[in-house]
Amino acid sequence: MKESSRNWKQLKMIYEDYAIFTPGPVKMSEEILQVGAEQTPYFRNSEFSDVTFACEKGLLDMVNAPDGSKVIFLTASGTAGMEAAIMNLLNENDNALVVNGGGFGARFMGICATHAIPHTNFKVANTNLADIESLAPKENYTALVVNAHETSVGHLYDLDAMGDYAEKNDMLFIVDAISMLVTDPLDMQKSNIDVVIASSQKGLALPPGLTMVILSPKALDKLQDINSVYFDFKDYLTNGERGQSPYTPAVTIMLQLHARLEQIKNRGGIGQSIASAKEVADYFRKSIKALPLKEYTPYMPNAMTTLTPTDGKSAMEIVNALETGYKVMVCPNGGVERDVVFRVSHMGEMTKEYTDILIDALHDYYDVARPS
């Protein structure tokens, strides 16, 4: 065991006042953090059931879910939500068209392979799939699976076009909205979406550990018996009728979600949150025009900006310089993209003033005067 003083120093370092622009965990509001300092209450009672019901209602309203939709609250990371959705909804008689535009698309591919779901690797690049009709392979598919925001590269797909295509071809439309909910528009009814997967530590700006799967009536009809105890959605739905869950929920994060949904409402609703994220993202992109950094994709979400150095610098070097020189955390990529791109999140408790910290740091790093 390391020395106590050493451990304390590690914690201090972790909590030091860095400006946070990583795409999860993201900066949280003081109001939400204060809930994290409360004793976790007992939850097998009607008070906590009411909290669960309010969270469900708030989420369904936020995504304009069709009447009769339900929310599964999983104590787990987002990947568990992706896997559980596939396990509960698809089987060997399905044929899934999996959009694969990066690391998270590849993860959906791996999940389908692990569970022996017939699937096609719909490899895409340089398109937001507004033209999915002409691009998609001409096969019969039963499901369309996509990460609405492919977070590994910061690429947002056109959910309306995809939903039209899914409806026309009678496909179940499964959308991982983990890194775009709250910052970018998502409308289940308008885009014919049957399943939405969301997670606590992105746009919802809560600590990680809670994942939500929103199911339309069409998805609910398709739920099957599965060989899993922890991911059995039917069990969650039965318990959900009384506002409870089969296993200990992430009580504290549920209470933070409850407070956060109130906060979003009090700040003018989900439309206002999306507009605010767009304003901050636009401001950031405009403010760094003078720097040798290029936007990696023309299809960026409000949630994130992905940048490529145009002067031969390594992206990783910039990430490190921002952290050590300016106490600003942005997000590197791994593998082959390590030197090619870095990512700047606009999710969470973001303002133009807060984003100025990063904008100023980048100008100072490049020794370029910031245009006034």
Contact positions with a second copy (CB under 8 A) in 101-140? 107, 110-111, 114-116
304-309 and 70-75: which strand pairing?
unpaired
Alpha carbons 29 and 3: distance in angstroms, whole number: 33
Pick between residue 159 and residue 250 the one whose CB is nearest to a second copy. 250
Q: State the minimum distance, in angstroms, from the CB of residue 323 to a second copy.
A: 8
- Considering only residues 271 to 300 of the shown chain, the ones binding a second copy according to CB under 8 A are none
346 touches a second copy (CB under 8 A): no
Pick the binder of a second copy from 66, 80, 321, 338 (CB under 8 A): 80
What are the C-alpha distances in Å from 241 to residues 60, 266, 280? 15, 28, 39
48 touches a second copy (CB under 8 A): yes
155 conformational bin, left if phi > 0, alpha if psi -120 to 50, beta if neither: beta
Tell me, rounded to whole angstroms, the distance of Cα 71 from its chain centroid: 16
- Considering only residues 15 to 34 of the shown chain, the ones binding a second copy according to CB under 8 A are 15, 18, 20, 22, 24-25, 27-28, 33-34
Q: What is the sign of the dihedral through the CA atoms of 282, 283, 286 and 290? A: negative
Q: State the minimum distance, in angstroms, from the CB of residue 233 to a second copy.
A: 14
Pick between residue 228 and residue 351 the one whose CB is nearest to a second copy. 228
331 touches a second copy (CB under 8 A): yes
Pick between residue 136 and residue 205 the one whose CB is nearest to a second copy. 205
Instruction: Return the range that interacts with a second copy (CB under 8 A); candidates 3-11, 95-103, 162-170, 354-362.
Output: 3-11
- Cβ atoms of residues 181 and 198 within 8 Å: yes
Q: Binding string to a second copy for residues 194 to 223, with x set by CB under 8 A, is what?
A: -----x-x-----xxxx-------------
Alpha carbons 323 and 320: distance in angstroms, whole number: 5
Q: State the minimum distance, in angstroms, from the CB of residue 85 to a second copy.
A: 12
Pick between residue 11 and residue 369 the one whose CB is nearest to a second copy. 11
- Cβ atoms of residues 208 and 257 within 8 Å: no
- Cβ atoms of residues 144 and 116 within 8 Å: no
- Cβ atoms of residues 73 and 244 within 8 Å: no
